[in-house]
Structure 1
Amino acid sequence: MSPIQHPPLSPGTRPALPSDIPRLGLLYVASFHYSPNAKWARPYYPQYPEDMLAQYTAWSIQYLEDPQFIVLVAIDAFDPSERSKTDAHFPEGVTTGLGEDVKEGDQVPVATLGHRDAMINVENAARVRCGFEKLVELDMLVTHPAYWGRRHGTKLVKWSLEYSRLNKVGQGVVGPPMGMRVYLKEGFVEKEKMTWEGDEISPEGLAKQIAIYDVE
């Protein structure tokens, strides 16, 4: 097996570091709020913003610890007013103390777990049909709304595709139409569309697409 090759990084990008973890959690919340995915999987997020922040911060840790993931970040000058440029909700106040306890029994059921599980099951079945086991996957791409329009996302996608070309391995991506526009513009080809009908929890429903970048 040939050694894995990594393309040179574009100016303004670098590998994510453990010190980025708190910022990554905030970034996910600020940007993911605009995705239909969030409204479907987390319809009660405005009432419980700390839950989403904690979840995405935990995922950031998992991604950085897992050698199967490559996590890159784009760097820009800090905008002190960035919080006012997103409609996302953030927990109020600051943490001033810590206590730990062990809770017995099962986890409290969550009304939206059915939404999440239905979405994951359909997506995974589509991944199998599209041959994702032979591909690398562009798992997540997020940009804070305060920094939209500066091509940060495009820069990260271009690096990802150069990685595929260097290593001669195709690449797959799953996402809603809003983000899919970026991928299709860079050479991904749509393979499937998936839809979930709305209900009393999420009346708008959800639509996502699967696309593949072929290096052959």
Structure 2
Amino acid sequence: MDSLPKIDGVRLARLDELDRIALVAAAGFFHSPVFHFQRPHYDAFPEDTVASYQAEYEAAMLDPNSIVLVAEQIPDKNETNRVYKALQRLSPSKSQTSSDGKVIVGVASISLPPHSRRSGVFQPKGTSTYSTQSETLQQRDQCIKGGELYSEATAPAKAKYLTGQMRLTTLAVHPAYWKHGHGTRLTNWCTRLADLDRVPIGVSAAKMGVKVFTKAGFQEEVRVQIEGYELPDESRDSFACNEKEPANVTSIELWIGVRCPQKRRRNLSCNLWRTWNCFKAEE
């Protein structure tokens, strides 16, 4: 099997790092409109937000068809000041560092394509403490209506363009460590793996991530508009909204792109590459 990509500051995640990974994910994703669309009650229930990311990345680490990566650097002692106030209450005064004095500042996850020869080789050793907690998530920060609207709007496009592909499923960088190239390095690790395996890789992203992905070679397939919604009456109290001004969650846009492998058929468009690849598979 080909060796894995090697990029400075990027490595596979470990199960004992889920606390830090969840905090980084919450801090980074907070700046995405998708976060606010799905988690309108984040300010009232930050512990539920963190718990849901712990469960999400635990599941990805234990999934034989997924990969979780982290990016590291020397910690910024003032990093807590760069996260939203509710999350500050859960952030430790001092982050635990690795043996070389670095902390996790970014996280990404990948879904492997069906029947990948790499399936099952990325699972970290050790045990997780979140399995029981994952089964009892309260998810009070989320709105069921928002989740349903998001799924309904995006499911057809994801099925059309991302089914069967390697997929960069999540990418988040702690805001205290923006503009250090961590998002680019994590993305490049993923695209290099796709190139090694000679498979396309897809992504669905909010507007803030489009620049990183287009720079990495992803080509736009479609933009999906997701209409906003009014919060249900039963959820108003936890959102602490003004009764005179109904709480509305604004509409958002999701960008879907696909990047074809770069080591073969550089002169082919993505659609032509898919056609050529299917033809070769049938020979």
Query: After TM superposition, is the score higher than 0.5?
Result: yes
Residue aligning to 1:151? 181
Alignment match of 2:47 (pick from 38, 46, 50): 50
Alignment match of 2:159 (pick from 108, 121, 128): 128
Residue aligning to 1:171? 201
Alignment match of 2:37 (pick from 40, 44, 55): 40
Residue aligning to 2:73? 76
What is the TM-score of this pair, normalised by structure 2? 0.66
Residue aligning to 1:102? none
SS in 2 for 1:7: coil
Residue aligning to 2:9? 12
SS in 2 for 1:139: strand
Matches within 5 A, 1:194-205: 194-201=224-231, 202-205=248-251
Q: Work out the CA distance in 1 between the residues paired with 2:32 and 2:70.
A: 20
Offset at residue 93 of structure 1 (A):
6.7
* Structure-2 change in CA distance of 1:163 and 1:84 (3 Å): same
Contact kept? 2:52, 2:139, Cα under 8 Å: no
Alignment match of 1:142 (pick from 172, 186, 203): 172
Q: Work out the CA distance in 1 between the residues paired with 2:84 and 2:30.
A: 8
Query: Which has the higher Rg, Structure 1 or Structure 2?
Result: 2
* Structure-2 change in CA distance of 1:15 and 1:110 (3 Å): closer
* Structure-2 change in CA distance of 1:120 and 1:144 (3 Å): same
Stretches of structure 2 lacking an aligned partner (at least 5 in a row): 92-137, 232-247, 262-272, 274-283
Q: Work out the CA distance in 2 between the residues paired with 1:205 and 1:27.
A: 25
Alignment match of 1:160 (pick from 190, 196, 220): 190
SS in 2 for 1:37: helix
SS in 2 for 1:142: strand
* Structure-2 change in CA distance of 1:167 and 1:83 (3 Å): same
Percent identity, please: 28
Contact kept? 1:28, 1:142, Cα under 8 Å: yes
What is the TM-score of this pair, normalised by structure 1? 0.85
- 1:87-146 deviations in whole A, cap 9, x for unaligned? 25227479xxxxxxxxxxxx899982121122123322112222x233100000100000
Contact kept? 2:33, 2:206, Cα under 8 Å: yes
Contact kept? 2:204, 2:255, Cα under 8 Å: yes
Higher strand share: 2
Amino acid at match of 1:128: A
SS in 1 for 2:222: strand
Could you say what the CA RMSD is over the residues aligned between the two structures, in angstroms? 2.1
Offset at residue 18 of structure 1 (A):
1.2
